[in-house]
Amino acid sequence: MVQMIKAICFSILISLSSVTVLAQDASAKTDLAFAKKGKRIKIDFGDELVQGQVGTPDAMFLNTKKNHNFKKLIKIRENFNVEMDKSKNAFQK
Amino acid sequence: MRLSNTLLAIGLVLGAQVALAAPPAPARKALVSQAAAIERGRKLIEEKKFKAGGLYFYNLVYGNSRMTAQQKQLSKYLMGVALNRANFSQIASFNLLASSQSTDRKLASKSYEQLVKAAEALNDKSLLNYAFKKTDVTELTEIGREYYFNSLAKISMEAGENDKAISYLDNSLTINSENEESIYLKGLAYIKKGDNASAVPFLEKIYKKYEPAPLASKKKDEATLALARVNYNLQKWTAAIELYKTIPKDSHLYRQVNLELSWAYFRNYQFRSALSVIHSLNTPFYENFYDPESLILRSIILLFICQVPDLERSVAFFNNYYVAAYDNLKFWNQNNYSDQKHFAMVDKLMGELNRDRNLSQSSVELPYFIFRTLLEDPEISMKISYLNNIKRERKALNAQFNVPNAMNFLKYGNKILDSRIKNVSAEVGSLVKLRLRDIENELADYITQFDFINYETIGIMKNKAAQKFIKKSTDVSEADDKQSRQFFIQSGFQYYPFEGEYWRDEIGNYQYLGTNQCGAND
C-alpha cells in the first residue's frame, strides 16, 4: 500500500515536472516567434555595465536604378525659330 | 516737292483755323505777323536751307512768347522737319513729339510720320514702334504704305499677335504682291503660329526669286536658310540638308549654317556626316564665339556612336572652357553690378574692337568669347547703334553750330543729346546685365546636359570593360590576328586624333572617320 502511494506520488511529481518543462519550451518558442515578427524583446542586463558606440558606415551607398537612360533627357533641337526671327530685317528695303 | 506740298497744306489748315478764331484787331495783327514769320521759316526749308531753318524755328519757338499754342506747335513741327533733314534727328524728335500732341489731327499725324523718319535714322526701335502705332495710314505721304504695314506686322509679331501680323501683311501684299519683306514676314508669322506647312509657299516663293542670283548674295543665303529651316521644322531632313549645303563658305551665315546642318544630319541618323561638319566649328578658327551648342551636339553624336575617347575630349573641353566661364559669370552676376558698370565694360570692349577688328583677347573682366557674342545680339547691337548715332549727332552739332548766333541752340541741343546719351548708355548696360543672366541660366542648363552625357559615358565604359573581360576569358586568338592592315586610311581609323588643330582651307572640308563603337568587342 505504502509502495503504491509512493509510486503514485512519484508519477505525479514526474508529470508535474514535465508540464513545467513543456511550459518553459512553449514560452521560449513564443519569444522567438515575437523576435521573428520584429516585436520588442525585453532583455534584462541587471546591473551589468553595457559599453556601446554608434556605428556609421564609412562609405555612402547610393541606390540607383539600373539602366537608367539619360539619353532621353538630352535636349534635341526641334526648330530654329529664334534664329529665323533674328533674320526678320534681312529683306527690308 | 512732296515736302513743300505737305507744308503748304498744313499752313493752309492753320490759316483757316486762325481766321475762324477771329481775335480782336491788335491781336490779329500780331497773329498775322507770327504767321508771316512761320512762312519765312517754311521758305528756308523749301530752299533746302535745313540748318538755317532749324535755327530759325528754334529762335521763333523758344524766343517768342507772342505765339499762340497752335502756332508754337506748327513751328515745332517745322523745326523737326528742318532738323530731320539736316541729320539732327534726335533734337528733331523732341520737337516732333511735342507737335504730335496737337489737337489738330492732321498736324499730329504729320508729326508722327516725321517721328518715324527720325526714329529710322537714329535706329531707335522704341520711338519707331511708338510712332508707327500712332500714325494714321490714310495720312501717309512720305512713308511707303507697304513699309508701314510691314512695320506694324513686326510689332504685332513681337507681341505674339501673329494673326494680326498676317492681316497687316495681307494689306501690304495687296498693294504689292512681290514685296519680299512682306512675303518673308508672312512665312515667319505662320511658323510662329506653329503652322509650318502654310509657311512653305511663302518661303519657297522668295527662295525661287533669288535662286538665279550669283553666289555671293546675302539675300539668297537668307532665303535658302529660311526654306531649309522650315523643312527642318517639318522634319524633312533630306530636303533641309540639300538646302543647307548650297550656302557657300564665304557667306556671313556659314557658321550658323554648319550648326543647323549638323543637327539635320543628326536627326537623319547620318552621324558621321554630322561630325564631319561639326569638326569645323570646334576648331580654334571659331574659338572666340560663344557656341556651346555645337559642342553639346558633337558630344551627343559621339555618345550615340559610343566613341568614348573623342567624347572624353569633348567633355574635357567643355569643362575647361564653358564650366570655367560659367563660374566666372555666376560670380559676376551675384555681385549685382550697376547698369553703368555693365555699360563701361561694353564701352571698353568696343574701344578695343575699334582699334583691332581681329582682337583675340580682351582686358574685360568677363570671358571675351561670351562678351563678343553678346555684342552681336540684335537688340543690343541696335541700341549701341542708336547710341553711336546720338554721339555722332552731338559731334556734328558742336562742329556746325559753334557760332555766336547759335549759342543758345547749341546749349539746348547738347542738353537733349547728353541726357539721351546717359539714358541710352544705362539701357545698354541694363540689357547686357539681363543677357548675362540669360547666358548663366543657359550654361547651367548645358552643364546639366553634360552631366547626363557623362553618366551615359561611364555606362558605356563599364559595358566595354565587361565585354573585354568576357572576351579575354573566352577568346582564342589566331595567327594572322596580329598582322597589320594599315596600308591606307580606312573607315574607323585615323592617322591622328582630332585635337582642334586646323588649316584655314580645311574649314568645312573635314571628314569624320570614326565608326559606331556601340557593342563592338575591343
Residues B476-508: b if buried by 16+ CB within 10 A, e if exposed: eeeeeeeeeeeeeeeeeeeeeebeeebeeeebe
Q: Are B384 and B374 in contact (CB under 8 A)?
A: no
Residues in chain B with CB shorter than 8 Å from the CB of A83 are: 229, 256, 260
Whether the predicted pLDDT of B50 surpasses 70:
yes
Distances (CA, A) of B193 to B163, B186, B437: 8, 11, 28
Cβ–Cβ contact B200 with A under 8 A: no
Residues in chain A with CB shorter than 8 Å from the CB of B155 are: none
Q: How far is A90 from chain B (nearest CA, A)?
A: 7
Model confidence at B521, pLDDT cuts 50, 70, 90, reads very low
Whether the predicted pLDDT of B198 surpasses 90:
yes
Nearest-Cα residue of chain B relative to residue A92: B181
Whether the predicted pLDDT of A39 surpasses 50:
yes
Whether the predicted pLDDT of A59 surpasses 60:
no
Chain A (48-77) residues lying within 8 Å, Cβ to Cβ, of chain B: 68, 70-71, 73-77
Q: Are B322 and B451 in contact (CB under 8 A)?
A: no
Cβ–Cβ contact B333 with A under 8 A: no
Q: Give chain B's mean pLDDT.
A: 84
User: A66, A69, A88, A93: which to substitute to probe chain B, counting the most B Cβ within 10 Å?
Assistant: A88
- Going A93 to B1 to B7 to B13, the CA torsion angle's sign is negative
Please answer yes or no on whether B150 and A73 come within 8 Å at the CB atom: no
Whether the predicted pLDDT of A37 surpasses 70:
no
Q: What average pLDDT does the segment B174-185 reach? A: 92
Tell me, yes or no, if the pTM score tops 0.95. Answer: no
Cβ–Cβ contact A80 with B under 8 A: yes
Three cell numbers written together for B419: 541726357
Cβ–Cβ contact B462 with A under 8 A: no
Cβ–Cβ contact B255 with A under 8 A: no
Q: How far is A47 from chain B (nearest CA, A)?
A: 56
Nearest-Cα residue of chain B relative to residue A93: B181
Residues in chain B with CB shorter than 8 Å from the CB of A62 are: none
Distances (CA, A) of A12 to A2, A26, B163: 15, 21, 107
Does the structure's ipTM exceed the value 0.85? no
Q: Please name the member of A70, A81, A86 whose beta carbon is closest to the beta carbon of B192.
A: A81
The pLDDT, as a whole number, for residue A61 is: 43
Q: Distance between CA B427 and CA B438 in Å, rounded?
A: 17
The pLDDT, as a whole number, for residue A21 is: 47
Q: Distance between CA B423 and CA B387 in Å, rounded?
A: 10
Q: How far is B235 from chain A (nearest CA, A)?
A: 9
Tell me how far apart the terminal alpha carbons of chain A are, to the nearest angstrom: 139
- The interaxial angle of helices B237-245 and B254-267, nearest 10 deg, is 150
The pLDDT, as a whole number, for residue B508 is: 67
Q: Distance between CA B220 and CA B314 in Å, rounded?
A: 34
Per residue in B303-328, pLDDT (tens digit) is 888 888 888 888 888 888 899 999 99
Q: Which helix (H) or strand (E) holds B253?
A: none
Residues in chain B with CB shorter than 8 Å from the CB of A82 are: none
- Give the residue, A58 or B262, on which the prediction is more confident: B262
Q: Which residue in the block uniquely carries the three cell numbers 580654334?
A: B284
Whether the predicted pLDDT of B2 surpasses 60:
no
Please answer yes or no on whether B229 and A90 come within 8 Å at the CB atom: no
The pLDDT, as a whole number, for residue B482 is: 60
Cβ–Cβ contact B217 with A under 8 A: no
Q: Please name the member of B188, B297, B452 whose beta carbon is closest to the beta carbon of A88.
A: B188
Three cell numbers written together for A42: 525585453
Torsion of CA B322, B328, B334, B338, to 10 degrees: -110
Q: Give chain A's mean pLDDT.
A: 62
